[in-house]
Structure 1
Amino acid sequence: MRVLVTGGAGFIGSTLVDRLLAEGHQVDVVDNLSTGSLANLGEARAGHRRAFSFHQLDIRGPELVPLMVRRRPEVVFHLAAQADVRRSVADPVEDAEVNVLGTLRVLEGAVACGASRVVYAASGGTLYGEPRAQDLPVRESHPRRPLTPLGVSTLAGLEYLRCWRELHDLEFCALALANVYGPRQDPHGEAGVVAIFAERLLAGEPLVIYGDGQQTRDFVYVDDVVDAFVRAVERGGGLLLHVGTGQEVSVLELARLLGKVAGVEPTLTFAPPRAGELRRNALDPGRAAVHLGWRPWTPLEEGLAAVLAWSAGRQRSGRKAASQGGDKVSGRDPRPEDGPPRRAPRKTGASRG
């Protein structure tokens, strides 16, 4: 099967790409490299040259639809997004341009190329506003009352998917993701707390906690998430499904667990809470179990160990590159396989995660 992955150079997207290639699919990746990195696609580029193509494009650009018509994917995995809550508050117009207009461009291309399905990555932590404690973990039937521009643009994407299903018979499955973590998540990009804490812990730096640390999140490992995407190719048509663990973990508990796994006592510092961030969140994955046959399987401590191992390797590579006087780990390639000459990327159309 030929598939296209938008945002495929991000940490979730590239992990999905590796899974798809391992299963024998032909894979095209579209990413503008504003937050993703070609380093994440190193294995795909080195080991699957005949089955893999990379295209450096912004999903909002006019080049996307002709590319999709030319490559003719049967399934489109749409992961490219502006995924930062704080950025959406600071620049809601940019957020809408990427998440609404960009999604429309993807849907336009999917219809034009004859794709049978779009699998859509939604921001599960922003769709429902601030849920009450008794409503956690949140189910898909919970009222959708987003409190940030990111939540609004995510909801708009879902509505366009439903509309295109009726107008153009384009099937979809939307996966609302909890807080995805895992190897390849860039602690210096639009990263989650796990990547940031892991890097700072290994560097001997204090972990900065915004607020009192009692705020909770639902941490789901990237390999588990990718499994849900793969299952959604043939199941869950026309549905929004939660991809999370259903378990709340506080930021303080996360810091403690990371220290336990790393064998060090973390130093904590506290800062004022940040605007737009939820107090508590967890997503009930029960509907995904029914419709996808999916459940999360990676224990949090096991996933944190994998992140710490990856972060340690990344830091070692960085030190080696610095000692050699060059950047050996950026993974940036000045000659993308398809697309315009390399320019400084804009912070739009980025890889989710």
Structure 2
Amino acid sequence: MKVLVTGGAGFIGRCTVNQLIGQGDRVVVVDCTERNRSQSLEVEKLVTYYKVDITCDIEKLESIFAEERPDYVIHLAAQVSVRYSLVDPVEDADCNVMGTINVLKQCVRYGVKKFVFSSSAATYGNPKQIPIEENHETEPLSFYGLSKRVSEMYIQSYSHHFGLDYTILRYANVYGIRDTRTGEDGVVTAFVERILGGIPLEVYGDGQQTRDFIYVKDIAEANIAALRGGSQQIMNISSGKAVSLLEVIETLKQLCDASVTIQFLPHQKGDIEHSVLDNSKARSLLWWNPTYSLSDGLREIVNFENEIRRNPASVSHLVYNKIPAM
């Protein structure tokens, strides 16, 4: 089957594309960033890449759908920073809401079988009970959470009016190996870099706030599982475990065998104090289970960062060695 992945050059996108290729699917990537062509020509042939901004290059986007005729779409392209959404809510809405509508329009026009959407736990706001189930009220604290919730509603409306099948996945806090730091999902890697570099860690609040950390490879597995299951459903994708930032730091101290200095900063607007998602629906409907413990995921990141320090030239081949480092 042919799968078009928007945002396929990004953090979650590259891992998703890697796994799609591993199972023999044809992959089309639409992303607004430049593609890094440092990989082999053999690997280059596995992905068709288009440098297109889904918010403004609407004619180009339509021509891609007309040319490629994808069977499925995994929509990952987004503005991902809670803090930035509070600074520029217009750009946040343009990217997350209008970008989603632009892709939905082409999915309907060119007969896409299913649309898989990357949503967020930020749609819930402060939980009234933990763990958070999918029927929990949605009261976003940030424009980012609001834009994701509005996008969900557009997807459901497109399904109602035009018969487009969909699955909406509300991600918990995604972490993993990455080469850029954009959005709150880069905080774990930033911690690792600072610990290995002997630099004090910056923690907003008292560090007791909890998050549900889910490894990026488990997220990619869920994205792909949603292509075949969970039709017209909203599902949490999470570890199902609450972990405080101080617990994360303590685990990293042990893995890095290093001492740590913490600088506590004021609590940030739009940040949720405690969050853990109930993932039983995804386990049941997608036959999906998270396989990485927090310790397993953090160990991979630490090993990766250590390898970068020993051999910087090896970075593009360590994890995404089956796809271009786009």
Q: Which residue, 294, 305, 308 being the options, matches 1:311? A: 305
Give the match for residue 342 of structure 1: none
Identity %: 37
1:277 and 2:274 aligned? no
Q: 1:308 to 1:42 in 2, by over 3 A?
A: farther
Shift of 1:316: 4.0
Judge conservation of contact 2:134–2:236 (CA < 8 Å) in 1: yes
Give the match for residue 53 of structure 2: 58
1:94 and 2:88 aligned? no
Uncovered stretches (5+) of structure 2, i.e. residues with no partner: 317-323
Shift of 1:50: 3.2
Q: 1:228 to 1:191 in 2, by over 3 A?
A: closer
Shift of 1:210: 1.0
Judge conservation of contact 1:65–1:112 (CA < 8 Å) in 2: no
Judge conservation of contact 2:240–2:276 (CA < 8 Å) in 1: yes
Bigger relative contact order, structure 1 or 2 (CA pairs below 8 A, ≥6 apart): 1
Distance in 2 of aligned mates of 1:175 and 1:188 = 20
1:173 and 2:170 aligned? no
Q: 1:283 to 1:154 in 2, by over 3 A?
A: same
Q: Secondary structure at the match of 1:208?
A: strand
Uncovered stretches (5+) of structure 1, i.e. residues with no partner: 322-327, 330-336, 338-350
Give CA deviations for 1:8-56 in whole Å, capped at 9, x if unaligned: 11111000101101111111111112xxx745x866x644333311111
Judge conservation of contact 1:66–1:109 (CA < 8 Å) in 2: no
Give CA deviations for 1:117-150 in whole Å, capped at 9, x if unaligned: 01100012x1111113xx1110001011112111
Judge conservation of contact 1:181–1:192 (CA < 8 Å) in 2: yes
Q: 1:245 to 1:190 in 2, by over 3 A?
A: closer
Q: 1:317 to 1:32 in 2, by over 3 A?
A: farther
RMSD: 2.1
Give the match for residue 72 of structure 2: 75
Give the match for residue 43 of structure 2: 48
Shift of 1:189: 6.2
Q: Which amino acid aligns with 2:124?
A: Y
Q: Secondary structure at the match of 1:48?
A: helix
Q: Secondary structure at the match of 2:281?
A: helix
Shift of 1:315: 3.7
Q: Secondary structure at the match of 2:44?
A: coil
TM-score after normalising by structure 1: 0.85
Judge conservation of contact 2:205–2:267 (CA < 8 Å) in 1: yes
1:295 and 2:289 aligned? yes
Give the match for residue 126 of structure 2: 130
TM-score after normalising by structure 2: 0.91
Judge conservation of contact 1:178–1:243 (CA < 8 Å) in 2: yes
